[in-house]
Structure 1
Amino acid sequence: MMIFENFPLICSLAAIIFTQALKYPIAIFSKDKKTSLSIVTTTGGMPSSHSAAVSSLITALILQYGIGSGYVAIATTFGVIVMFDSMGVRRQSGEQGIVLIDAIKELTRLSLKFPKNEQELIAEEAEEKIYPEEMAVKKYLGHKPSEVFVGLLTGIFVTFIVRLFYEQI
């Protein structure tokens, strides 16, 4: 099949899948009481699958075309942007999400002090009900530098493992 001939693509996809699957045991090991299996489909957390994907792509391209290749230059530029973005803009968005969730909880708590008819008026003005528990998942948008670094190492590791399978074929 054509897709299996694309070593860099297979490496990147394998890195994403492996890293996402790795999030659950890491979360359990860290004794996060709110851990559920849904963590494997969310963004953020340890390790960064974004970093794993781009570092795997870069490593595969280096192995296939050499470090001086234009493909490696493009992928490295893309990878640096992805990793910085996951620590910067996306991380800040996640932290703002935490603040918004706290504000919503506080407003909900304060609205309970109003008489029943005013509570109904407040509820009618809202476009939809807000469930802070469901929104809590959204706070994990970005990554800490350690999560990006472990993702980078994971991507390199996965590339060499995939390469072992390619050598057997």
Structure 2
Amino acid sequence: MRSLDIGTMEEPSQSISSALGNYPLFSALVAFVIAQAIKFFTTWFKERRWDLKLLIGSGGMPSSHSATVTALAVAIGFKDGFEGSVFAVAMVFACVVMYDAFGVRLHAGRQAEVLNQIVYELPAEHPLADTRPLRELLGHTPTQVIAGAMLGCVTAIVARILSLL
């Protein structure tokens, strides 16, 4: 059993270096950045406009949430073994996040769309007529979640191969 020594503090540069050397964490962060970049550049390519909100926002293709948690789970599997408890926890966590992305959050976004339309059609004198619109792009379709999960797997595999070189 390992003990945690809270008394020793690393320098900030050593902490960052240690975090980047953490293969599962690094894989998860890279998967997130790649997924967000895909959304950012896809929008520019399709609409010829830069939308900086896409670099951190939710929704769209591929799901960065799915890419992140899948990369984390797969990287943990490679590092600590796919039969271990830590991988099991990471896998359950990934499944919950992905279910939430295409279940609860997708339907919340659709409800926001309907509510925004209702508010838009209210007469100007109605007390809710000037209500700020709700965010509609919250969740993902199953295809977006699957694409994110595939991106996460590929990211973890490539990071593993690079870590072995």
Name the TM tier (shorter chain).
0.7 to 0.9
Q: Secondary structure of 1:99's match?
A: helix
Q: Secondary structure of 1:39's match?
A: helix
Q: In structure 2, how many angstroms separate the alpha carbons of the residues matched to 1:159 and 1:13?
A: 10
**1:142 equivalent in alignment to 2:145:** no
Two-structure CA RMSD over aligned residues (Å) = 2.2
- Structure 1 residue aligned with 2:90, among 68, 72, 75? 75
**1:49 equivalent in alignment to 2:64:** yes
TM-score (norm 2): 0.80
- Structure 2 residue aligned with 1:18, among 16, 25, 34? 34
- Which has the larger Rg? 1
Name the structure 1 match of 2:20. 4
The unaligned stretches of length 5 or more in structure 1 are 112-118
Name the structure 1 match of 2:159. 162
Identity %: 32
Q: Secondary structure of 2:106's match?
A: helix
Name the structure 1 match of 2:75. 60
Q: In structure 1, how many angstroms separate the alpha carbons of the residues matched to 2:144 and 2:47?
A: 16
Aligned residue type for 1:8: P
Instruction: Give the Å deviation of 1:33.
Output: 7.8
Contact 2:43 2:49 in 1 (8 A): no
- Larger RCO: Structure 1 or Structure 2 (Cα < 8 Å, ≥ 6 residues apart)? 1
Q: In structure 1, how many angstroms separate the alpha carbons of the residues matched to 2:76 and 2:143?
A: 24
Single out whichever of 151-160 and 31-40 deviates more from structure 2. 31-40
TM-score (norm 1): 0.78
Q: Secondary structure of 2:121's match?
A: helix
Q: In structure 2, how many angstroms separate the alpha carbons of the residues matched to 1:140 and 1:33?
A: 20
